[in-house]
A = this chain, B = another copy of it.
Amino acid sequence: MRTIGYHHGDLRRTVLDAAVDAIGESGLDGWSLRELARRAGVSHAAPAHHFGDKAGLLTALAAEGFDLLAETLKQAGPDFLEAGLAYVRFATEHPVHFGVMFQPKLYRADDDAVRHARERAGALLAQGARAVAASPAGSANTARAGWSIAHGFASLWLAGALTEPAGTDPVDAARPVLRRLLEG
């Protein structure tokens, strides 16, 4: 990969990574395409070639996020608790992706790449959530309950709403919480 000269060589990835950094530092409002271009050392219009506009960049981020989530869920297997913990791990390890993914108004949710990745993750998610279903009658609601509790815990954790001792691992903190759904 070349880093100097007319052609950057890997601008798309570089800008994407810079966006994750910038959003992670300053939130979803604290970044600009021009700032990303400056970080990458290219002209202010270069990112537009790869992403079109701001929404296009977030669309790419969302698609990447659903892909990463699908991979994480795949490795966790079909067990509910493992899938739920994997969900929390993904969210806390990729907070920017997670934050963008579930705000469809920020990007083009009907984009092909996004839709495909989302469906792939959705299938794996349903598989994990189905594992917690006792009675077939309530399986749909049980699946929703499983997704909700994992998603809710991750969201609250990222929002800083859960007061935990500093240094606590979010996955460790999530385990006894997710278990509550199994025990009653």
B102–A155 touching, CB < 8 Å:
yes
Count contacts on A: residues with CB < 8 A to the other chain. Answer: 40
In the complex, which residues of chain B have a beta carbon less than 8 angstroms from the beta carbon of A145? 149, 177-178, 180-181
Residues in B with CB closer than 8 Å to A151 are 152, 155-156
Please determine whether A103 and B28 come into contact, CB atoms closer than 8 angstroms: yes
Q: Which residues of B contact A162 (CB under 8 A)?
A: 144
For window 25-44 of chain A, which residues contact chain B by CB distance below 8 Å?
A: 26-30
Residues of chain B with a CB closer than 8 A to A29's CB: 28-29, 54, 105-106
Interface residues of A in 161-184 (CB under 8 A from B): 161-162, 176-184
Q: Which 7 A-B pairs have the closest CB atoms?
A: A184-B184, A152-B152, A27-B105, A148-B152, A145-B180, A151-B152, A148-B153
